Amino acid sequence: MFLWPVRVYYEDTDSGGVVYYANYLRFLERARTEFLRSLGFEQDRLIEEEGLIFVVRSVNIDYLRPACFNDRLLVSAVPGEPTGAGLRFSQRIWRADDLTGPSEDSNIDETKCLCRAEVRVVCLDRATMRPRRLPEAMKEILE
Amino acid sequence: MFLWPVRVYYEDTDSGGVVYYANYLRFLERARTEFLRSLGFEQDRLIEEEGLIFVVRSVNIDYLRPACFNDRLLVSAVPGEPTGAGLRFSQRIWRADDLTGPSEDSNIDETKCLCRAEVRVVCLDRATMRPRRLPEAMKEILE
Amino acid sequence: MFLWPVRVYYEDTDSGGVVYYANYLRFLERARTEFLRSLGFEQDRLIEEEGLIFVVRSVNIDYLRPACFNDRLLVSAVPGEPTGAGLRFSQRIWRADDLTGPSEDSNIDETKCLCRAEVRVVCLDRATMRPRRLPEAMKEILE
Amino acid sequence: MFLWPVRVYYEDTDSGGVVYYANYLRFLERARTEFLRSLGFEQDRLIEEEGLIFVVRSVNIDYLRPACFNDRLLVSAVPGEPTGAGLRFSQRIWRADDLTGPSEDSNIDETKCLCRAEVRVVCLDRATMRPRRLPEAMKEILE
């Protein structure tokens, strides 16, 4: 499972003492971006060379336990089966200290995650802003 | 229907040319805060005098059409039936120019909204961070 | 003096209990944008019709007293003499409750401001990203 | 010289196509936080165990060249001589690709930096919010 580390800074928190609810969406996107990068897809090149851009169509997110200032988090990004122009990600955020041992699948405890999200992304043609099929190379890797 | 105006500034946009997906959640919260204020509930006083705080438990949001730099938006906040410690809000965001005439219910065209969200909020005791019943006065007004 | 009201929401604060230091720059920009709008200049039209864009070249900001959650702020934007492509703004942020009576110049108490900033902005050609003279109409109004 | 890597994501950019001017302050603070961590100072523990908190008193920042989506940046944090409760940082932001070879001092080209900032921080007692002398251990290391 792809996991991306995120450190919580003051910028991410609010005066309630925890991470502001919108900022978890920033963390989720960092993990999706780094997941695609780990497969060899750089989004600035996808825009420039192929004229395509990814936009988020929907987010369903459950906030289970709060993250706090200075926490070390791990954010997962697990893609679902791609469908034409669309891509689904199932994502979780854990506190790193809540996971035991190396961050391998067997150590991931679903019950301990801080938040849980399903994110639907779609690939658009940048010029027309209409849906476009995912790049073939991306589709093959994800299947 | 309660509508709160929001202007889109550079701070809200991203290099895709539209409002960054996490920032709609900021707009939604401004509308919820102003809705509660319009009913007489100031959240800083609820914290100080009653020791209670509202946190978001879940968000289901659909991004239908993008908002752009300099757009004037209108954000709705419609509460559902309160349940113990919980409160649900059904929220929409429109571009003000897409709504005709005064912003009254009859002029609200559901098909034109930019985004649609269901937000579940819960009232917590600030000291224990455990759920607490909504203030009676709030419950009565919302019912 | 041009004053723009800003309400502090959770999104603006950090876990120190006050407005996060970078977010005052967002408030300052809202006031500059609304000041230009009050003179008839809409930045989206300046981009589309004249191909020009404003960027910030420098900020000198002193944080004197903190703003807190739910505060009502007033942000000033006072332009200096324009110079070719450049524009300077002298800006202050006050808590509205610290100002007595109507927000007229005579009621503005310099010693009570929360923060004080000098912001240097430059007008660029959007295509070349090189400095361009300010629009003549803007220069005339500001002189 | 302490350098901290920062990747530019969509969240950091604006519709001008570059990093939003307030967001460089977020990057600067990440580098200061990580610099203090590299010396053994964790800010959450400083708050809990010693009741002290750092706040920013002033920022002087020059924006020289823009950072863009997907850029890899390096952010420096060089402390000045500490003075009682105060601490000054001289900070720069570079695009990693503009620096040649390993990120050692000799390879740092001052003329290529994207932005340059002087940041004045002060140590406060969290309860009284009054200035307090820097922890002796921190002062010794920084001198």
Average per-residue pLDDT in chain C?
Answer: 93
Chain B contact present for A68, CB below 8 A: no
Q: Is the distance from CB of A132 to CB of A99 less than 8 angstroms?
A: no
Distance CA D41, CA C8 (A): 31
Instruction: Examine the pLDDT at A101 and tell me if it is beyond 90.
Output: no
Distance CA B95, CA D134 (A): 50
List the catalytic residues of A: 14
Which residue of chain A has the CA closest to C67?
A: A15
Chain B contact present for C97, CB below 8 A: no
ipTM above 0.85, yes or no: yes
Per-residue pLDDT at A143 = 85
Distance CA B118, CA B123 (A): 17
Kindly report the number of other CB atoms within 10 A of residue A143's CB atom: 8
Per-residue pLDDT at B34 = 98
For residue B103, what pLDDT band results from cuts at 50, 70 and 90? low
Distance CA C101, CA C122 (A): 35
**Which residues of chain A have a CB within 8 Å of the CB of D67?**
none
Per-residue pLDDT at D50 = 93
User: Which residues 21-50 of D have a C-beta within 8 angstroms of A?
Assistant: 26, 29-30, 33, 42-44
Nearby residues of B10 by Cβ (< 8 Å), 6 or more positions away: B69, C29, C33, D14, D15, D16, D20
Buried b (16+ CB within 10 A) or exposed e, D89-112: bebbbbbeeebeeeeeeeebeeee
Amino acid at B134: L
Per-residue pLDDT at A111 = 84
Distance CA D105, CA A130 (A): 48
Per-residue pLDDT at A107 = 63
Cα torsion at A141, A88, A12, D37 (round to 10°)? -30
Which residue of chain C has the CA closest to B68?
A: C44
Per-residue pLDDT tens for C21-65? 999 999 999 999 999 999 999 999 999 999 999 999 999 999 999
Q: Is the distance from CB of B72 to CB of B47 less than 8 angstroms?
A: no
How distant, in Å, are the alpha carbons of A5, A143, D24, D31 from that of D65?
Answer: 29, 41, 12, 19
Tokens matching residue B140: 């009565």
Kindly report the number of other CB atoms within 10 A of residue A111's CB atom: 6
Distance CA C30, CA D43 (A): 32
Per-residue pLDDT at D108 = 73
The residue annotated as part of the active site, out of D12, D14, D109, D125, is D14
Rg (CA), chain A: 16
Chain C contact present for D124, CB below 8 A: no
Which residue of chain B has the CA closest to D20?
A: B11
- The closest CB to that of A13, out of C15, C22, C68, belongs to C15
Per-residue pLDDT at B55 = 96
Per-residue pLDDT tens for A50-70? 999 999 999 999 999 999 999
Shortest alpha-carbon distance between residue D3 and chain C (Å): 21
3-state SS assignment for residue B46: helix
Shortest alpha-carbon distance between residue B96 and chain D (Å): 20
**Which residues of chain C have a CB within 8 Å of the CB of D62?**
57-58
Shortest alpha-carbon distance between residue D98 and chain B (Å): 22
Q: Is the distance from CB of D74 to CB of D31 less than 8 angstroms?
A: no
For residue B3, what pLDDT band results from cuts at 50, 70 and 90? very high
- The closest CB to that of C57, out of D18, D23, D62, belongs to D62
Distance CA A121, CA B67 (A): 17
Distance CA B24, CA C132 (A): 34
The whole-number average pLDDT for the span A99-113 is 71
Q: Is the distance from CB of D33 to CB of D40 less than 8 angstroms?
A: no
**Which residues of chain D have a CB within 8 Å of the CB of C58?**
60-63
For residue C138, what pLDDT band results from cuts at 50, 70 and 90? very high
Q: Which of A44-53, A82-91, C97-106 has the lowest mean pLDDT?
A: C97-106
Instruction: Examine the pLDDT at A104 and tell me if it is beyond 70.
Output: no
Per-residue pLDDT at A39 = 95
- The closest CB to that of A16, out of B16, B26, B55, belongs to B55
Which residue of chain B has the CA closest to A57?
A: B63
The residue ranking higher by pLDDT, D127 or A107, is D127
For residue D109, what pLDDT band results from cuts at 50, 70 and 90? confident
Shortest alpha-carbon distance between residue D19 and chain B (Å): 8
Distance CA D76, CA D8 (A): 16
Tokens matching residue A74: 């791990």
Tokens matching residue D52: 């002290």
Where in C31-79 does DSSP place strands (E)? 52-63, 72-76, 78-79
Nearby residues of B41 by Cβ (< 8 Å), 6 or more positions away: B135, B138
